[in-house]
Copies of this chain bind each other. A is one copy, B any other.
């Protein structure tokens, strides 16, 4: 039995691995009655920092994450901690998880549980892909019909203003930013249910087919709508950034529509519909810039040559030519985040976490200045095959591999060592009520108690 305890107290079970630490064999016993965390004399934060006070409270005895991971229970159930010096900081500033609440509605409870798991893994950005073609669960005060007609169900499958507030606050208390994504002009089918004339009517021959395509970029009403809509979004979500999407615009509907064709001719776009897409995005970006928010976009917006504000963040998601894209985006001077190698909705048999772990985000050819523009990455769990029933075990601990890649030093690449720590870390998540799936055969001292 003791070998197990020794393993559990081993410093290597920290996750993600701190930048520097020095553990010793000197063990202290922790008494729940007398133990407390206090502010250091030289600390600039104090009891007036509510966020930190709340974090202290939340961790009860095991208060702050790294600290909590140092505590181990011995054979007699006594909590111990070894004398340890740690100096730590993240390698990348942006460490995100993308969840998709449109393909399937994600009940609040699932989102909050995953924010908890994110905090345990030192992720600090929740990229909330909140709406898409399939459903529009965001309840807008300005345009209530968007969710009334675009959600899977207008009452049970929506995020009310207070739900959204709760997510933001729950995240904030854990040091997590919430960046909402409202993807346009594609991926917007569900918007059309509640907003007349927003989408392009597709034609079959000379008459409308009854189906709709991307946002209609030739109507002023589209831009009036976006102006009002993003004015609301910019106040509801406090983060300095909004993700505007811009990916995978299907041109076929635009091509079929005679009014669009006429507009293309007037503008001198020829038959290059990416110019029309850029025309739309350009106006959208101006609208959002006017709200004083920064914006993030998927890589196509950059690829299509849209003029972007200097502080735009370009998200590289396409797996093919990833290094070339990173080179191009950073050469153009744009801040970049990487999600291409970390599409965790793709599953396969075995330990695929190792593939995520082995990625080196800065392996592309480029100058130091270019490398500095890569501020982090995101693990994306798209929702086609994921809902409340399977999201959490599918995401964790696979996303933990990404967490360490984005937090720890570049030199931390030993997969065997990572395996041993991650096995412990996943049991720690299980112990705290997160149904993180196993890496391989074995057991946790405390198995998952839910179903």
Contact = CB atoms under 8 A, between A and B. Distances in A.
Contact of A113 (B345, B346, B386, B451): B451
A380 to B, nearest CB: 14
Interface string A428-451: 001001011111111101111111
Nearest to A433: B451
Contacts of A443: 104-105, 135, 152-153, 157, 387
A436 B389 contact: yes
Given A153-B443, A348-B349, A385-B349, A109 B451 contact: yes
A442 B104 CA distance: 6
B451 A386 contact: no
Interface string A117-157: 00000000000000000110000000000000000110011
Interface in A79-96: none
A349 B446 CA distance: 30
A348 B347 CA distance: 6
Interface in A154-198: 156-157
A103 B403 CA distance: 27
A322 interface: no
Contacts of A365: none
Contact of A441 (B156, B384, B392): B384
B437 A385 contact: yes
Given A113-B451, A443-B157, A445-B153, A350 B385 contact: yes
A392 B441 CA distance: 17
A219 interface: no
A110 interface: yes
A345 B345 CA distance: 17
B109 A438 contact: no
Nearest to A113: B451
A385 B440 contact: yes
A18 interface: no
Interface in A392-438: 392-394, 430, 433, 435-438
A389 B430 contact: yes
Q: Which of A348, A436, A440, A447 has the most CB of B within 10 A?
A: A447
Given A113-B451, A348-B347, A348-B349, A438 B392 contact: no
A107 interface: yes
A437 B392 CA distance: 12
A394 B448 CA distance: 16
A390 interface: yes
Nearest to A436: B389
A388 interface: yes
Contact of A390 (B104, B348, B437, B441): B437
A435 B447 contact: no
Contacts of A258: none
A351 B438 CA distance: 23
Contacts of A437: 385-387, 389-390
Contacts of A442: 104, 134, 152
Q: Which 7 A-B pairs have the closest CB atoms?
A: A390-B393, A389-B435, A152-B443, A390-B437, A388-B448, A103-B441, A389-B448
Interface of A: 103-105, 107, 109-110, 113, 134-135, 152-153, 156-157, 345-350, 383-390, 392-394, 430, 433, 435-443, 445-451
11 contacts: A104-B443, A109-B451, A110-B451, A345-B349, A348-B349, A350-B385, A383-B441, A386-B437, A388-B451, A389-B435, A389-B448
